[in-house]
Amino acid sequence: MFVRRIAVIGTGYVGLTTGACLASLGHDVVCADVDADKIKRLTAGEVDILEPGLAELVAGGIAAGRLTFVLGAAAAVERQPEVMFLCVPTPMGVGGVADLSIVESVIEETRDLLPSGCVVVNKSTVPVGTAERTEELLVRDDVAVVSNPEFLREGSAVYDFLNPDRIVVGGSKQDAAERVAALYSRLGAPTVLTDAPSAELVKYAANCFLAMKLSYVNAVAELCDRLGADITDVTEGMGYDKRIGQAFLQPGPGWGGSCLPKDTSAMLQLADAADFEFRLIRATIDTNTRQRLRMVEKIRLAVTGKKGGSLSHVKIGLLGLTFKAGTDDLRDSPALAVAALLRQAGATLTGYDPALKPGVTHPDLNSITIAEDPYQAAQDAEALIVLTEWPEFRSLDWPRLAGEVRKPIVVDTRNLLDPAVARRAGFEWIGVGKH
C-alpha cells in the first residue's frame, strides 16, 4: 500500500473519524477546521465527540506524527496533499434541498492552491450531480473529483470505518477513483468503482432503504397492536430470511438523527427535480411522523384510561432523549419529537439521559427539566416513557422507580425492558406491537 499525504476538511464526526482512521492505516493526514478552539483542543488530543475508540486513535495518530490539525482549508492544502477529503456539513436547506454553500466555499478557498494531480473526494452526503458541479467550480483539468460516500453510524463510526461492508468510489477519471479506493486496500472490503452520480446515489438509496425498513417495521408493529400479535416474534421470523436480515428491525418512536430525516427529504427533492414522484419515500416519511403521534396516543390512553383524555398538567418522566443510544446527539431526536407533542398536549416533562448532564442547554430541551438520575425523573410521574434504547435502563432498580412514581405505568416505545421485570416491580408495562 502506498502512504499518501491526505488533507481532511471538516473535523465533525465524519471528518475526524476519517482523518484518525486513515492515519491509523499509515497515511500522513492533516485535518482542517474553521473553529480555532476546536483545532487547539484537537492538537492537544482532546476529542469532544462521543465516539468509541476515536480519542485513542487521535492520540495515537498525533504521537506517531501522522495526524495534525490546522486552522482553515488553505493551511491544509499548503501541505501539498495528494488527496483532499471534503467532510463538511451539507445541512437541509430550503425545501429539503441539501445546502452546499460550505462545500462551495471550501472549493473557492482551495481552488488555486491545490497541487497538480490532487484528487478532491466528496465524503459529505450531497445531491447527485455535486461531483460534476464541483469539477465545474474547480476549473482545474489537473485536479480530479470523486465521490466516496461514508456509511458510518454515529456511536460506531470508528468500527464502521475500519470494518466497512463496502467501499464505494465514483468519478469520471478512473485512475483517480482507483487511487482513492487504494487508500482503503488494507481493509479488504468489497469495492464498487463507478461514475460519480451512481456513487452519490448509493448513499441516498441506502439511507432511504434503511428508513423505509424502519417505517415498515413500525407499521407492522401497529398492526400487531391491533391484532394481538407480537412484533418481536414477527421480526425474528422475518429476519431469518437472508434477503431480509435481522438488523434494523427494532420498532421505536420513529427514526431520527442527523442523517435519515435529511436524506429522505433530499431524496424526495432529487426525485422531484427528475420529474419522478417517489411515493414510497413520501409514505416512509409520513409513516414516521405518524409513529410519533401514535406514541403520544398510546401514552394518553395509558395515563388517562381513554382515547382523547387530557394530559394537561400531567407529570411525565422520560427515559432517554438522544436520537439513539450510545451518542449525545439530540439532532432530530424522535424522543424530543414525542416530548414536544406531549408538551403541546399540556404535560409537564422531566427527563433523564445518560449522555446529558443537568443544566445542559439545547433549544429543543427547553421545556424538559433534566434530572440527575432516572429516579429523580420518576418522582411523582403519572407515567414513565422509555424513548431511547440505552441498555442500562434494563437494569435500573425498577422496584425503587415504582416507589417514586405516582402511577406505576411504563410505556416502552423501544420494547427495551424485560416486561416481566417491570411487572414484578408493580409496573403496568406497555410496549409497541407487544402485549
Return binding residues for NAD(+). Answer: 33, 38, 90, 125, 154, 262, 331
Binding mask 121-150 for ligand UGA (x = CB under 6 A): ----x------------------------x
Does residue number 252 form part of the binding site for ligand UGA (CB under 6 A)?
Answer: yes
- Pairing relationship of beta strands 368-370 and 428-430 according to DSSP bridges: unpaired
Residue number, 155 or 374, with CB nearest to ligand UGA: 155
Closer to ligand UGA at the Cβ: 143 or 339? 339
Do residues 138 and 111 touch, judged by C-beta distance below 8 A? yes
Nearer to ligand UGA, 52 or 358 (CB): 52
Q: Which is nearer to ligand UGA, 68 or 264 (CB)?
A: 264
Which range in 38-46, 115-123, 250-258, 288-296 contacts ligand UGA by CB under 6 A? 250-258
- Residue 248 interacts with ligand UGA (CB under 6 A): yes or no: yes
**Strand, helix or coil at 114?**
coil
**CA–CA distance, 144 with 167 (Å, rounded to integer):** 18
- Alpha-carbon span 217 to 252, nearest angstrom: 9
Binding-site size for ligand UGA (CB under 6 A) equals 21
Task: Check: CB of residue 433 under 8 Å from CB of residue 222.
Answer: yes
Q: Where are the beta strands (DSSP E) in 133-289?
A: 144-147, 167-171, 191-194
E strands of 282-337, at which residues? 315-319
> Is there binding between residue 260 and ligand UGA (CB under 6 A)?
yes
Q: Please identify which residue in 15, 257, 317, 374 interacts with ligand UGA, judged by CB under 6 A.
A: 257
Residue count (the chain): 435
Residue with cell 432517554: 320
Binding part of the chain for ligand UGA, among 88-96, 184-192, 247-255, 422-430 by CB under 6 A, reads: 247-255
Is residue 61 a contact residue for ligand UGA (CB under 6 A)?
A: no
- By DSSP bridging, strand 167-171 and strand 144-147 are antiparallel
- Collapsing DSSP states into helix, strand and coil, what is residue 266? helix
Which position has the grid cell 495528494?
A: 82
**Cα gap 56→9, rounded to integer Å:** 21
Identify the active-site residue in 21, 87, 118, 259: 259
State the binding site. Answer: 33, 38, 90, 125, 151-154, 203, 248-252, 256, 262, 324, 331
Cell numbers standing for residue 281: 419515500
Q: How far is the CB of 429 from ligand UGA (least distance, A)?
A: 19
- Indicate the residue among 257 and 374 with the shorter CB distance to ligand UGA: 257
Supply the DSSP symbol for 92.
B
Query: Torsions phi, psi of 251, nearest 5?
Result: -70, 160
The verdict on whether 224 is a catalytic residue reads: no
Asked whether the beta carbons of 17 and 152 are under 8 A apart, the reply is yes
Q: Does 69 bind ligand UGA (CB under 6 A)?
A: no
CB of 304 to ligand UGA, least distance (A): 26
Identify the residue among 255, 352, 390, 398 touching ligand UGA (CB under 6 A).
Answer: 255
- Binders in 349-368 for ligand UGA, by CB under 6 A: none
- How many Å apart are CA 339 and CA 5, to the nearest integer? 47
Instruction: Give me the least distance between CB of 152 and ligand UGA, in Å please.
Output: 5
CB 421, min distance to ligand UGA, A: 22
Residue 214 or 368: the one with the smaller Cβ distance to ligand UGA is 214
| Cβ–Cβ under 8 Å, residues 263 and 205 | no
Site track 277-306 with ligand UGA (rule: CB under 6 A), x = hit: ------------------------------
Contacts of 166 (CB under 8 A, 6+ apart): 151, 189, 190, 191, 192
Q: Cβ(86)–Cβ(124) under 8 Å?
A: yes
Residue number with CB closer to ligand UGA (12 or 197) = 12
Element (H, E) at 272: helix 260-273
Residues from 313 through 332 that contact ligand UGA (CB under 6 A)? 323-324
48: number of Cβ within 10 Å: 12
Could you say which of 78, 151, 272, 369 contacts ligand UGA (CB under 6 A)?
A: 151
Site string for ligand UGA, 206-245 (x = CB under 6 A): -x--x---x-------------------------------
Q: How much is the CA Rg of the chain, to the nearest whole Å?
A: 24
Quick check: 374 and 398 in contact, CB under 8 A? no
Which residues make up the interface to ligand UGA (CB under 6 A)? 125, 150-154, 207, 210, 214, 248-250, 252, 255-257, 259-260, 323-324, 334
Catalytic residues: 259
